[in-house]
Amino acid sequence: MVRIGYFLSCECFGPRELLHQARAAEQAGFDRLWISDHFHPWTEEQGQSPFVWSVIGALSQVTSLPIMTAVTCPLIRMHPVVVAQAAATAGVQCGGGFTLGVGTGEALNEHVTGAPWPAADVRLDMLGEALEIIRELHGGREVTFRGEHYTVDHARIHTRPAAPVPIHVAGFGRRAARMAGSRGDGFCTVVPDAELVREYREAGGNGPAQAGMKVCWADSEDQAVKTAHRLWATDLLPGALPSTLSRPRDFARAAELVGEDAVRDTFACGPDPERHLDRLREYLDAGFDEVYVQQMGPDQDRFFEAWAEQVLPHVPG
């Protein structure tokens, strides 16, 4: 059965606004929550970047919906042992309803410690090592580890949920999808790519295949396109740019190359529920089990009202 969740954007909203959106999502009939994990927003226009683990603690007190980070990079800015402890605490706070989503990250968030930014294949190797450490710690054991990328010295997590926190692996390419299938409890991405789902399944993945999608509900399509272009033209940057640019102003300059027509063609914009359902069907037809929808812009309450009445009741089963 398809599940539709809501995607909380830490790049665009402060912690109190995110709590309001989580409550509204639950009341509107969304099944679960994603929340982004950023140190910087993509652009200054987006304007926020609250510490996700503090927000998750607060979310656990205002909603009963399952929560997942989409996604945390446990490589550079935060050592895997710190991510393991944070995720274990979130698992306790959420009563077992927390999932750790992990990925190889972006220089935008990870360069802040001054550490070098590795190549993509190196980061994927680092992620594999980080997964090994996190799973060992979530098993309750005292861990000493000497790897190619990380060292752990007699670490043990004492506050843990009754069962280890599930870990879902994010990816945009074949190797990451296969790692999710062989080493993760689920797979997540943001593109309606059936080939990625197939790679995940063929590598042994039997957990949920999840995807995020952005929409902009507004009074008119033109108004929605302008909002989406102003805030999220960065989503349309090609190739390695999203993972290698290091400052919000770099993303803002690069996004100047993205026209409004490209935004109009990519996102479901405006007040036509069929346009939103058509976009959603692309993900369902690609084989995704869960889709997490993010409303672009400040008009969150109108979005929740419209989707509760005009979209969610018509989602294919």
Rounded Cα–Cα distance for residues 175 and 103 (Å): 12
- The question of whether 106 is a catalytic residue gets the answer yes
Please state, in angstroms and rounded to a whole number, the distance separating the CA atoms of residues 142 and 136: 8
Spacing of C-alpha 205 from chain mean position: 19
Q: How far is it, in rounded angstroms, from Cα 316 to Cα 253? A: 40
Chain length of the chain: 317
Distances (CA, A) of 170 to 18, 68, 142, 146, 273: 22, 12, 28, 25, 29
Q: Which of 11, 26, 40, 106 is catalytic?
A: 106
**Beta-carbon contacts of residue 189 (< 8 Å; ≥ 6 apart):** 170, 171, 172, 177, 196, 210, 211, 212
Which residue in 38, 138, 229, 276 is the catalytic one?
Answer: 38
Residue with tokens 């510490």: 51
How far apart, in whole angstroms, are the C-alpha atoms of residue 62 and residue 101?
A: 21
d(CA 231, CA 136) in angstroms, rounded, equals 39
Q: Is 23 exposed, middle or buried (0-12, 13-18, 19+ CB in 10 A)?
A: middle
DSSP line for 65-113: S-EEES-B--SSSS-HHHHHHHHHHHHHHTTT-EEEEE----HHHHGGG
Question: ω into residue 112 within 30 of 0, thus cis?
Answer: no
C-beta of residue 153 within 8 angstroms of C-beta of residue 144: yes
Which one, of 215, 179, 220, lies nearest residue 200 by Cα? 179
Nearest residue to 255 (alpha-carbon basis) of 240, 269, 236, 239: 236
Q: Which residues are catalytic?
A: 38, 106
